[in-house]
């Protein structure tokens, strides 16, 4: 065993001393050490005769020789040889290039805030497809075919199949959640929606909604009001709200939610049209027909739903006057939110 170790050390010294840029000499070196009948092949063949208690040390020596021979062969082929540190032109003491820290999109920042607020009172998240069918987007929500309320939402239909469309609200996610679960349920559905509208400073064909749903026994309109009051206090810091009667096909009764924004600045007068009140979302008690369509007994359960547009919320919170700014990817605009996430 000792004589084999001595041989390996001698071969290792020979490998380390080898220096050549001649192709024939390099090939001869390869055959001598790494060829099928080379030195390493013979050493691996002798490995089986080494006593078991010495195999580990012998194997380590062989591997060291193989790695050294392989590295020397690659070095010689490249014709580089050992580099002279004094000739390098790289100054490793220079500072590296700065890495700019990115920022979340303002819509993402606001969405995370809304999710966090509602998660504190037990709302979970639910998601659904952006390409929907007529049942989940309209019919199950108390909007049967030819219902006049369908005209409230200008829809993008798939041309080859009029039953398939881009969802116009995330209420379709709530339908899917009600079909797949049994009460009690408390869920929040954030997502992107699409409507065939002209793009302007105040409207866009793509925007984001967050809709909430709560179903249980004996849920009342008072429960809805307290939930919305908690939310407006948490997000806007406003403690005064009002609910105005409105109409939505899938809730009855329905209401628009206004917060008292105040009249402290010129901007307050402008955005509230001098009233101090600002509409922020719609809400209502879930229509019994919607519960029936989702196989929930309206005699046993009741619930409420609400929905808001994130772009509108962000425009209020950040003082943005043109909704198109959210979609133009202007870095001058987006970098303003680097400290808000």
Give the CATH number, domain containing residue 278.
Answer: 3.30.930.10
Question: Is residue 129 located within the same domain as residue 262?
Answer: yes
> Which of 163, 136, 164, 139 lies closest to 150 in space, CA to CA?
139
Render pLDDT for 57-81 as a digit per residue (tens, 0 to 9).
Answer: 777 887 888 888 888 888 887 765 4
Together in a domain, 170 and 211: yes
Tell whether 66 and 135 lie within a shared domain.
no
Give the pLDDT confidence score for residue 88 in this predicted structure: 61
Judge whether 309 lies within some domain: yes
For residue 335, pLDDT beyond 60: yes
Is the whole-model pTM more than 0.75?
Answer: no
* Residue 285 falls inside a structural domain: yes
Mean pLDDT taken over the chain: 87
- Average pLDDT on 204-215 reads 94
Burial bucket for residue 166 (CB in 10 Å: 0-12, 13-18, 19+): buried
Query: What pLDDT does residue 153 have?
Result: 66
> Average pLDDT, stretch 17-22?
82
**Cβ contact 183:304 at 8 Å:** no
The tens digit of pLDDT for each residue in 89-120 reads: 777 788 888 877 777 899 999 999 999 999 99
Does residue 74 sit in the same domain as residue 124?
Answer: no
One domain, residues 143 and 261: yes
Instruction: Give the strands of the sheet with 302-309, arranged side by side.
Output: 124-125, 185-194, 206-216, 302-309, 277-286, 251-260, 241-248
Inside any domain, residue 88: no
Which structural domain range is residue 113 located in? Answer: 106-337
Report pLDDT for 73: 81
Summarised one tens digit per residue, pLDDT across range 256-312 is 999 999 888 888 888 888 999 999 999 999 999 999 999 999 999 999 999 999 999
38, 137: one domain: no
Query: Phi/psi zone of residue 14: left (φ > 0), alpha (ψ -120 to 50 degrees), beta?
Result: alpha
Residue 122 within any structural domain of the chain? yes
> Within this chain, do residues 111 and 220 fall inside the same structural domain, yes or no?
yes
Specify the DSSP class assigned to residue 123: P
Helices and strands, number each (H, E), in the chain = 12, 10
| Residue 171: inside a domain | yes
Are 204 and 71 found together in one domain? no
Polymer length of the chain:
341
């Amino acid at each position: 065993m000792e004589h084999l170790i001595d041989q390996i050390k001698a071969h290792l010294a020979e490998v380390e001393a080898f220096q050549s840029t001649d192709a024939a000499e390099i090939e001869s070196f390869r055959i001598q050490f790494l060829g099928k009948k080379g030195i390493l092949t013979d050493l691996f063949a002798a490995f089986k005769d080494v006593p078991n208690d010495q195999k580990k040390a012998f194997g380590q020596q062989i591997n060291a020789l193989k790695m050294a021979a392989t590295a020397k062969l690659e070095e010689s082929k490249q014709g580089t040889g050992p580099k002279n540190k004094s000739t390098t032109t790289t100054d490793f003491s220079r500072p590296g290039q700065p890495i700019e820290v990115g920022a979340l999109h303002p819509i993402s920042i606001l969405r995370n805030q809304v999710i966090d607020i509602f998660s504190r009172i037990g709302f979970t998240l639910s998601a659904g497809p952006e390409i929907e069918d007529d049942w989940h987007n309209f019919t199950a929500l108390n909007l049967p075919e030819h219902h006049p309320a369908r005209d409230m939402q200008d829809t993008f239909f798939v041309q080859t199949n009029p039953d398939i469309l881009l969802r116009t609200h995330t209420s379709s996610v709530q339908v899917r959640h009600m079909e797949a679960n049994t009460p009690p349920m408390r869920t929040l559905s954030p997502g992107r929606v699409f409507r065939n509208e002209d793009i302007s400073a105040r409207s866009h064909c793509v925007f984001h909604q967050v809709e909430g749903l709560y179903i249980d026994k004996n849920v009342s309109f008072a429960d809805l009001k307290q939930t919305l009051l908690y939310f407006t206090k948490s997000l806007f810091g406003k403690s005064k709200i009002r609910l105005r009667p409105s109409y939505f096909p899938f809730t009855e009764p329905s209401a628009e939610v206004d917060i008292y924004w105040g009249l402290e600045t010129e901007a307050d007068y402008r955005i509230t049209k001098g009233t101090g009140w600002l509409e922020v979302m719609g809400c209502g008690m879930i229509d019994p027909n919607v519960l029936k369509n989702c196989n929930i007994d309206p005699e046993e359960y009741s619930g409420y739903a609400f929905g808001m547009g994130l772009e509108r919320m962000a425009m209020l919170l950040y003082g943005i006057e043109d909704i198109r700014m959210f979609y133009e990817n202007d870095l001058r605009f987006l970098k303003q939110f680097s400290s808000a996430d």
